[in-house]
Amino acid sequence: MRYFKRSGFVVVTMILMFFTALSVNVKYIPEAVAAQSASQEEILRKATEDARRMREEAEAARERKRQEDEAAAAERARREKQEAAAAAELKRKEAEAAAERMRIEAEERARREAEAADRARIEAEAAAERKRKEAEPAAAHKKAEAKAAAARKKAEAEAAAEREKEMMATSGTPQIRGQAPPQPKIFDPKRLVPAKLNQYTPQSHTPQQPTPTPANEIYRGQAPTAPSPYTYVPPMPAQTYSAPAPTAQTYPGFGSAAPAPTPLQTPSAASAVGMTPTQLYAQYPASSVILGNPYESIAAPSDIRIDPNPPPGVSPYIYRSDIDIDVQETRTGSVMASIAVSSDAGLMGRFIYEEQNFDILNLPKGFRFVDWKNAFRGKGQRFRIEAVPGTQVQRYSAMWESPYWFDLDYSFGVNGSYYQRYYNEWYEDRIGGGISLGKLWTPDFSTRLSLGGQSVTIYRPMLFTVEDLYKVLGKHPMYTVGLTAMYNTRDSEYMPTEGHLISAGVEQVLGDYQFLRGNIDVRKYFMLRERPDRSGRWVLGLRSSLGVTEGGTPIFERYFGGGFTNLRGFDFRGVSPRNDFMEVTGGCMEFYNSAEMIFPLTADDMIRGSVFIDTGTVERSLTKWEENYRVTVGFGLRLTIPMMGPAPIALDFGFPISTGRGDEKQIFSFGMSLMR
């Protein structure tokens, strides 16, 4: 019962609360409806405002895009206009350059034609002058012969008249008018000696004796009892052509005895037989002229020697003729300035002055230009100054050399230099000089003894774990004594196609460090084929080199391999023994072998192709050198640019196929290259 009472109370309470809430809600319903209407209007207003703002932003975006498109189109048009203008300017410059080249070529062609015309005119004038000089002795000879013939005829006529008078006085027999007197035998000198020396051979060259003359025979121009004025000169046999020292002899028409000339070194009879007079004359000094007898025929020309200035009417056996030799000195001096870049040495400038006909004692006579024009020239000495500033290498040097010292087969030279190199491992400066004495034993074989001294400074080390590098920091004096031998038969120093080179040297180093080192380099070149005009040569070059130095050699004098000079395909100084931290330490032995084929790619040989294989190694000693033997194959180009000198530009691609521990590779290398 109590439960039902409590439940009724609860129900009544809930009914009262319901009606109370209902009355409250009914009271505030209009206000809620009004608030809800205001809220919807605000929401609508905000939505309208957002839509308007979004529309404005879209319009602004479209406007910006339109402006950007217009600006991009204008920029493209401007660039196209600039490119068109640049292309037009480039074409204009190319046209101007082509016109300038054509003008220069035309001027050069005209200059060459003018020079050729001048040379032809000078040669024609020289030929005419030579002909005139050649004709003058012949005309003088003919004139002298005519005078001599007239004098002989006159002498014969006078002798005949005198003889007739003597015969009349001796015999007393009168001559009948109109009847010719008895004719005596006439002396013929050609009967005594051979007519022409050139007609004789060693087999037929035998002495001939004159026909005996009876005592009662009378000769024209000779008294009956007087001895013959003609002296018989017997020819010397071929096997005994050794004439005694001549004595003074009397010749018709001279008027006095000719003095005995100084004996000369005469040719053998075997060589004299068959010679022309010019060839025979070449066997004698020009200061003493060998002349024949007045009758132009003689068997042994060295047996009769007369004064070089014969009297009129006497024709010499050998004719002297002037020889004009025009000698024009070639260009002996050169000045070259260039800029070069290589993968091993970086960017470099280069200035070289060289004179091949230097004379250190030919000082200028004054300060005018004419006094300096030919100063310091004329003795065939060599003088060279070279300046090479660069980003990684700097070199300044001067050299003087006398290739034929005191006109002997000895050369003497003096040189001095300053060298600076920035290696990846340290920086290095060297300054010094030296003297050398060479001997040319044959045209191909020479030796050289050299003495030198230099100061080496090592600084800024970059290898932090190489103890040998920190031991050599600072300045070190070094003195060297070296001997080099070279056998060279190559046809060119820069691009040989045939021949070989064998070079070997040994050098003792003294100073802060004492060690001995030696090297040998052998190269051989084979010319495989060529064009008919001897251009377009295919050349195979083989090279092998070995260098060895003692174990006490400091690190800056050890060997490092790699680069386009020995092992292409590896970085410069990237082939070397290494320590436990893989830093290079240098080696005491280097051994390289290379084979390279060079062939033309263009008709003018300005561009050549190359295929090669480089092998070699750098080790601490000669033992176990084959364990880290490197092999590289590759190809490249050789570009010859005349204005940059005779050495071509080399562009090589090398691909290592066998490497050593820690080797640093470099596929592409370039620089100034010589044929290996």
Q: Could you tell me the two tokens for 12?
A: 């009544």
Last residue of a domain, one of 320, 347, 369: 320
213-236 b/e (C-beta count within 10 Å ≥ 16 → b): eeeeebbebbeeeeeeebeebebb
For residue 656, give the CATH number of its domain.
Answer: 2.40.160.50
522-555 b/e (C-beta count within 10 Å ≥ 16 → b): bbbbeeeeeeeeeebbebebebbbbbbbeeebbb
Sign of the Cα pseudo-torsion (44, 47, 52, 55, in order): negative
Coil, helix or strand at residue 587: strand
Question: Which ranges of 188-273 does DSSP label H, i.e. alpha helix?
Answer: 269-272
Last residue of a domain, one of 299, 320, 341: 320
CA-CA-CA-CA torsion for 266, 270, 274, 280, nearest 10 degrees?
-10
The residue ranges of DSSP E strands in 497-573, in sequence order, are: 499-511, 515-529, 538-549, 569-570
d(C-alpha 421, C-alpha 5), whole Å: 118
455 domain residue, yes or no: yes
611 domain residue, yes or no: yes
State whether 639 and 510 are in the same domain. Answer: yes
84 domain residue, yes or no: no
**Residues whose CB is less than 8 angstroms from the CB of residue 253 and which lie 6 or more positions away in sequence, other chains included:** 148, 151, 294, 311, 313, 314
d(C-alpha 214, C-alpha 618), whole Å: 100
**For residue 322, what are the CA distances in angstroms to 136, 137, 363?**
11, 10, 35
d(C-alpha 443, C-alpha 390), whole Å: 38
Residues facing 516 on adjacent strands? 508
Last residue of a domain, one of 295, 320, 345: 320
Q: Could you tell me the two tokens for 561?
A: 């391999």
Contact between 634 and 654 under an 8 Å Cβ cutoff? The reply is: yes
Under DSSP, the state recorded for 322 is: -
pLDDT at 412: 95
State whether 577 and 431 are in the same domain. Answer: yes
628 domain residue, yes or no: yes
399 domain residue, yes or no: no
Coil, helix or strand at residue 575: strand
State whether 547 and 661 are in the same domain. Answer: yes
Residues of the chain where predicted confidence (pLDDT) is lower than 70: 1-10, 21-33, 167-329, 644-645, 672-676
Contact between 479 and 453 under an 8 Å Cβ cutoff? The reply is: yes
pLDDT at 281: 40
Q: Residue 486 is which amino acid?
A: M
d(C-alpha 444, C-alpha 503), whole Å: 12
Residue among 675, 674, 673 nearest 538 (CA)? 675
Contact between 221 and 227 under an 8 Å Cβ cutoff? The reply is: no
Sign of the Cα pseudo-torsion (305, 306, 307, 311, in order): negative
Q: Could you tell me the two tokens for 323?
A: 């020889």
CA-CA-CA-CA torsion for 176, 177, 178, 184, nearest 10 degrees?
50
444 domain residue, yes or no: yes
550 domain residue, yes or no: yes
State whether 316 and 427 are in the same domain. Answer: no
Kindly calculate the radius of gyration of the chain based on its CA atoms and give it in whole angstroms. 53
Residue 622 backbone dihedrals phi, psi, to 5 degrees: -75, -15
State whether 648 and 499 are in the same domain. Answer: yes
Under DSSP, the state recorded for 174 is: P
pLDDT at 191: 40
Task: Residue 602: give the domain boundaries.
Answer: 423-672
Residues facing 517 on adjacent strands? 507, 549
Coil, helix or strand at residue 635: strand
77 domain residue, yes or no: no
What confidence tens digit (pLDDT) does each residue in 212-222 have? 444 444 444 44
Residue 109 backbone dihedrals phi, psi, to 5 degrees: -65, -45
**For residue 169, what are the CA distances in angstroms to 72, 176, 221, 288?**
142, 15, 17, 48
Domain count, the chain: 2
d(C-alpha 676, C-alpha 654), whole Å: 15
Question: Which ranges of 318-382 does DSSP label H, i.e. alpha helix?
Answer: 369-373
